[in-house]
Chain A
Amino acid sequence: GAVVSQHPSRVICKSGTSVKIECRSLDFQATTMFWYRQFPKQSLMLMATSNEGSKATYEQGVEKDKFLINHASLTLSTLTVTSAHPEDSSFYICSASGIGFTGELFFGEGSRLTVL
């Protein structure tokens, strides 16, 4: 099956610092990757859609300068939370769709960010 690996799984940082989260498709080429944010016991909130080699498309209300997304290759996308603040603490999950599949998404394990 298709595997998406996300790293780190947990990160704690100080307020004002930046954190980078990586999302890799291990055994398929991910033409499109999606980044979500999930608050405890709540649904998935789509933050942005990224296609390899092009700029990410951000959902309304998501600050693109705060949540930098890079999709440099068909197997790697990164989300950088810049100048993190406590309110950025959340569970961030990536997902990917790829060549040879019929539109289903494969999710990474998620990254729990805690900003002190």
Chain B
Amino acid sequence: GQQVMQIPQYQHVQEGEDFTTYCNSSTTLSNIQWYKQRPGGHPVFLIQLVKSGEVKKQKRLTFQFGEAKKNSSLHITATQTTDVGTYFCAGYFGSGNTPLVFGKGTRLSVIA
């Protein structure tokens, strides 16, 4: 079946360091979304990327969608303890009622 691969699985950083998580698909995605799940919480929608090569920023977070629409990344500049959580990418393949396919997530720990 269609899969979205996400790496790394875990990342431990010192506060102030940068962090990046990557997602990759073998087939073209219609769009890709990113979610954040805090420890003990539920996933919260962050952003959706639709266009080839699209780049969007939310304060210290930068989201990119690859030119071929097969990969995406989330980069956090100067991490803070509030960034702790698991970041999931999720992609739509095709259109219609196909469900969103989630990556396995990257769990970020920030050491103060």
Q: Which residues of A are interface residues toward B (Cβ below 8 A)?
A: 32, 34, 41-44, 46, 49, 51, 93, 95, 102-110
Contacts and interface: CB of A to CB of B under 8 A. Distances in A.
B33 interface: yes
A109 B99 contact: no
Contacts, number: 46
A101 to B, nearest CB: 10
Given A34-B99, A103-B48, A104-B33, A43 B104 contact: yes
A102 B32 CA distance: 12
A109 B42 contact: yes
A95 B35 CA distance: 12
B48 A107 contact: no
Interface residues of B, number: 20
Contacts of A102: 48
Interface in B53-103: 88, 90, 92, 97, 99-100, 102-103
B44 A107 contact: yes
Contact of A32 (B90, B92, B97, B102): B97
Given A43-B105, A44-B102, A104 B45 contact: yes
Contacts of A95: 43
24 contacts: A32-B97, A34-B99, A34-B100, A41-B107, A42-B104, A43-B103, A44-B43, A44-B88, A44-B102, A102-B48, A103-B31, A103-B33, A103-B92, A104-B33, A104-B45, A104-B48, A105-B45, A105-B100, A107-B42, A107-B43, A108-B42, A109-B41, A109-B42, A110-B41
Give the 8 A-B residue pairs with the shortest CB-CB distance, closest first. Answer: A43-B104, A107-B42, A104-B45, A107-B43, A110-B42, A44-B102, A43-B105, A109-B42
